[in-house]
Copies of this chain bind each other. A is one copy, B any other.
Amino acid sequence: MTDVKIRLYVEHPMGAGQRLALNKDQSHYLFAVMRQPLGARIAVFNGIDGEWLAEVSKANKRNGELELVSQRRAQQSPPDLWLLFAPIKKARTDFIVEKAAEMGASRILPVQTDFTNSDRIRQDRLQAHAVEAAEQCGGTYVPEVADLAKLSHVLRDWPEDRKLMFCDETLTEEAGAMAALSAAGKGAWAVLIGPEGGFSEAERAQLRALPFSHPVSLGPRILRADTAAVAALTLWQLSLGDWR
């Protein structure tokens, strides 16, 4: 396989010989920042058709163009896995979105909990981080970042066939959680990470009582939310996901 350094997410159908117009940001990145010449080869993906090899057919810093050559890799379907997390300080929220994309989440839902400080997020900025992470990690899809919603509302409207792995910081031992997850079975799942101040007692009681929830421990130390996101997604991927 040709070694290609640059990967771009594009919203465009794929097909050999098709021309693909780049938007201003993509043109600036490819031709002003990365200085790609005419004929240079890069990889593109659209979340549906796998990864394609493309050739620069017009090197212009404002409106460049690529020509699609051939499929390099088949589409990888992501596990049907949501990540729910309570937004924290700006940089760490960005990190959580980036890490969720690398770890293979297919949908990212920022939620407000009783102890969440933030009452708004920049959805567009977080979605751009998810695109960048997908380009960088070699995935062939971009997770969708949802708008901020109250955890209680998300749980009220919960799809009945989706299981929830809930990271309960009051549990300090794994104690068979992986076996329990595996036993709960594959299918649609979500992972819920608590806010930095933890869940409230009321939230924890509600979460434990939900018929679709599976509490797990992330060990004996208190993890920051971004660390917890990666650890929880690792646990899930090892138990039920595409790492197996």
Contacts and interface: CB of A to CB of B under 8 A. Distances in A.
Interface of A: 76, 95, 98-99, 102-104, 136-139, 173-175, 178, 217-224, 227, 230-231, 233-235, 237-238, 241-244
A243 B224 contact: no
Contacts of A219: 103-104, 237, 241-243
Contacts of A238: 174, 178, 235, 238
A137 B243 contact: no
A224 B99 CA distance: 8
Number of this chain's copies in the complex: 2
Contact of A221 (B137, B224, B227, B230): B137
Given A231-B230, A235-B234, A243-B174, A138 B99 contact: no
A174 B244 contact: yes
B221 A104 contact: yes
Q: Helix, strand, loop or mixed for chain A's interface?
A: loop
Contacts of A237: 219
A220 B234 contact: no
Contacts of A102: 221-224, 227
B224 A136 contact: yes
Contacts of A235: 234, 238
B103 A231 contact: yes
